[in-house]
Amino acid sequence: QVQLVESGGGVIQPGRSLTLSCTASGFTLNHYGMHWVRQAPGKGLESVAHIYYDGSNEFYTNSVRGRFNISRDNDKNTLYLHMSSLRVEDTAVYYCARDRIPGGSYQAAFWGQGTLVTVSS
Amino acid sequence: DIQMTQSPSSLSASVGDTVTITCRASQRIRNYLNWFQQKPGGAPNLLIYFASTLQGEVPSRFIGSGSGTDFTLTINGLQPEDFATYYCQQSYSSPPWTFGQGTKVEVK
């Protein structure tokens, strides 16, 4: 059974760094494209980052490009989001999600339950 | 960037009603349109992809249609478990893919 479990969220001061983890089970991580999507409190969904199944390409939304980095450890079957120079507006629940089919697809079909990041002084 | 505009932002309905949510893209996206359902405190759940294909065991009362720039999600015979927020998302451009702002379906 496909399962994604995010961890690493918490309260962090502006300007600091934080790394989120997404531990996958029930499938092999390096067969699937993976996503990070966030949701600010009471707001809608925002796609943040995407990595191809083979790690050959990474994509970022404009507001985080240069500050966030998506990566994966295939041996640990874990996806990461390293966030630096954090801003108050980065406060959100961060979800990781998996592509619907291996090799890449146009849908994020399986989602974790999210981890809350609060950026506040 | 491709912008996605949903309407209405919220609606009130009763069990058994038919509801329709629309989503408009700022440029043509063929049929690269996904619909998600999100319940309070929960993660989004993929309902429909490629504008009209039901994901997994999603009930057939959910119907997606459209192509190009205009899309609709119709729920026939609204059930108690369908009260939630619905988001459209385009996956035509390079990722990350943009979402609409959401439509909250509330109990009348």
Q: What is the per-residue pLDDT for A34?
A: 96
> For chain B, what's the residue count?
108
Q: What is the pLDDT of residues B36-87, one digit of tens each?
A: 999 999 999 999 999 999 999 999 999 999 999 999 999 999 999 999 999 9
CA of B96 to nearest chain A CA: how many angstroms apart? 5
| Residue B52: burial class (beta carbons within 10 Å; 0-12, 13-18, 19+) | middle
The whole-chain average pLDDT of chain B stands at: 97
Predicted confidence at residue B99, as pLDDT, reads: 97
Task: Give the percent of chain B with pLDDT over 90.
Answer: 95
Please say if the pLDDT value at position B18 is more than 90. Answer: yes
Cis status of the peptide bond prior to B59, with omega within 30 of 0: no
Sign, CA torsion B11/B12/B16/B18: negative
Q: What are phi and psi of B78, to 5 degrees?
A: -50, 135
Q: Which helix (H) or strand (E) holds A7?
A: strand A3-7
Restricting to A residues 94-113, those with a Cβ less than 8 Å away from any Cβ of B are 95, 97, 100, 106-109, 111-113
pLDDT band at A104 (very low <50, low <70, confident <90, very high): confident
Q: How confident is the model at residue A4 (pLDDT cuts 50, 70, 90)?
A: very high
pLDDT above 70 coverage of chain B, percent: 100
Q: What is the mean pLDDT of residues A82-108?
A: 95
Instruction: Please list, in sequence order, all residues whose beta carbon lies within 8 angstroms of the beta carbon of residue A100, skipping any fewer than 6 positions away.
Output: A106, A107, A108, A109, A110, B46, B49, B55
CA nearest neighbour of B25 among B100, B94, B97: B100
User: How does DSSP assign A22-90, residue by residue?
Assistant: EEEESS-GGGS-EEEEEE-TTS-EEEEEEE-TTSS-EEE-TTTBTTEEEEEETTTTEEEEEE-S--GGG
- pLDDT tens digit string along A9-54? 999 999 999 999 999 999 999 999 999 999 999 999 999 999 999 9
B 2-31 → A contacts, CB under 8 A = none
Could you report the per-residue pLDDT of A57-76, keeping only the tens digit for each?
999 999 999 999 999 999 99
Query: What pLDDT does B37 receive?
Result: 98
Q: CB-CB: which of B34, B87, B99 is closest to A107?
A: B34
Put simply, whether A37 touches B (Cβ < 8 Å) is yes
Q: Residue B64: its pLDDT value, please?
A: 98
What separation in angstroms does the CA of A82 have from each of A70, B21, B91?
6, 36, 24
- Which among A24, A45, A50, A60 has a CA at the least distance from the CA of A92? A45
The whole-number pLDDT of residue B96 equals 86
Q: Sorting pLDDT into bands at 50, 70 and 90, what band is B94?
A: confident
User: Rounded to an integer, what distance in angstroms lies between the CA atom of residue A79 and that of residue B85?
Assistant: 27
> Which of the four pLDDT bands, split at 50, 70 and 90, describes residue A105?
confident
| Chain A, nearest residue to B96 by Cα | A47
B49 contacts chain A (CB < 8 A): yes
User: Do the strands A78-83 and A68-73 form a parallel or antiparallel pair, or are they unpaired?
Assistant: antiparallel
Q: How many helices (H) and strands (E) does chain B have?
A: 0, 10
